[in-house]
Amino acid sequence: MNNEIKYYTITALNRAIKNMFDEKEQLHHIYLKGEISNFKHHSRGHLYFTLKDENSRIAAVMFANATKNLSFEPEDGMKVLVCGRVTVYEATGGYQIYVEEMNLDGIGNLYLEYEKLKKQLEAEGLFKKEFKKVIPKFPKRIGIITAPTGAAIRDILSTIKRRYPICETILFPALVQGVGAKESIVEQLNRAQDFDLDLIICGRGGGSIEDLWAFNEEIVARAIFASKIPIISAVGHEVDFTIADFVADLRAPTPTGAAEMAVPNMADLISLLDQYKIRVNESINNLLKINKRKIDEIKNSFIIRNPMSLYEIKEQRLDMLMDSLNKLINVKLSEYGVRLNNVKSSYILKNPLGMYDVKKEIINKYKANLKKIIVSVINSSNYKYKIIFNKLELLNPLSVLSKGYSLVTLNDVVIKDSSQLKQGDRVNIRLSKGNIKAEVKEID
């Protein structure tokens, strides 16, 4: 019987299935829309990725020659429209689409804008942690910027009222979807700055990327960054991320989650206070026990039960100090007595004039020596003076006058030649002693 069964190879089976796909003309040129995932750009230029929607997925390949007409750089998460041919890849037996054309659909364009703005604001530093303001633990007043109707505001208010009813809330109604939404959100953010708020919750319920787009607008992001009041962003569901989430001081997964992050749970606080109360009471009781034990120890101590013993100890200590002091005084008195006796028995006190005579004799010797030295110095100086004086006399031009010569001058000029004078000149004649005024009568 086994001889009648024909077994196919896996390759033959996959080839047969492939031929079936290839024979279907409606699969030769098919249009699909979906989201890119598992994207891989091969080094040879080919693109490998998966196209998926909410329920299904299909493998896709776009060869390098087809990518020349792409107007964008494909990435995971992009919504795209593709045209291509569906067939089977024999090696794996899986069917896939060979993409010949690919374009962004409307949502894909929004995603590109989102990524572009996100990169721009991140480069400017709007997402940095150092700019994030601290969320207060116990806010007194919270501002809520959202639509006045809808599930979001109801969830936020009911959560705050349930968890922390003493907190005051102020609604700043804003459009959160459609035309004018971004301007409305910015207006309410700016308006909220004038209120004495501890915190702002800004957001809305879930929706498509188009519904949430107001929170991806640049003016909304910059208004959130400029806020002086801490802001919790609560946009959409947990899987939704908007630009507002990155700029805000804290991101909540949902509006309800934002309310839970904004306020503490009153029940938890009461429970915590009860625990603190128990701990404080225990600490006080322990402290009282410790102090009571110390008081009992003091009350039962030997000193308290025998107070006179403390006095006796002090009296004994005083006696010891007095004895030590008396010994010290006696030692000092003995030392000073010996020194006094030495002074009293000294030669100076017994013969005070003897010291005077000794000193007087020494002074007389000093006087005699000084007199000799003075006389010697005077004689030596007088001798030197005479020698110098005689030398000066020999050099003095006037000393020759003492031998009978005279010095004739005319107007303080010494006359050496008769040609220096004329009749009538009045000359001065200096003698060894005195001067003579004379008039020239005749010149020979």
The string of DSSP letters for 199-265 reads: EEEEEE----TTTTGGGG-HHHHHHHHH-SS-EEEEESSTT---HHHHHSSEE-SSHHHHHHHHS--
Is residue 112 pLDDT above 80, yes or no? no
Arithmetic mean of pLDDT, 372-386: 92
CA-based max dimension of the chain: 195
pLDDT tens-digit series, residues 64-108: 999 888 878 888 888 888 989 898 888 888 889 999 988 877 666
Predicted confidence at residue 347, as pLDDT, reads 66
Going by pLDDT thresholds of 50, 70 and 90, the confidence category of residue 14 is confident
Q: Which helix (H) or strand (E) segment is 181 a member of?
A: helix 181-192
Is residue 366 pLDDT above 80, yes or no? yes
How many CA atoms lie within 13 Å of 327's alpha carbon, on the beta-carbon side? 6
Predicted confidence at residue 108, as pLDDT, reads 61
Nearest to 96 by CA among 84, 109, 111: 84
Arithmetic mean of pLDDT, 329-356: 80
Q: Which domains does the chain have, with CATH numbers?
A: 10-104 (2.40.50.140), 125-264 (3.40.50.10550), 401-439 (no CATH)
Q: Is 190 helix (H, G, I), strand (E, B) or coil?
A: helix
Residues facing 97 on adjacent strands = 60, 86
**pTM: predicted TM-score of the whole model, two decimal places:** 0.47
Arithmetic mean of pLDDT, 238-253: 90
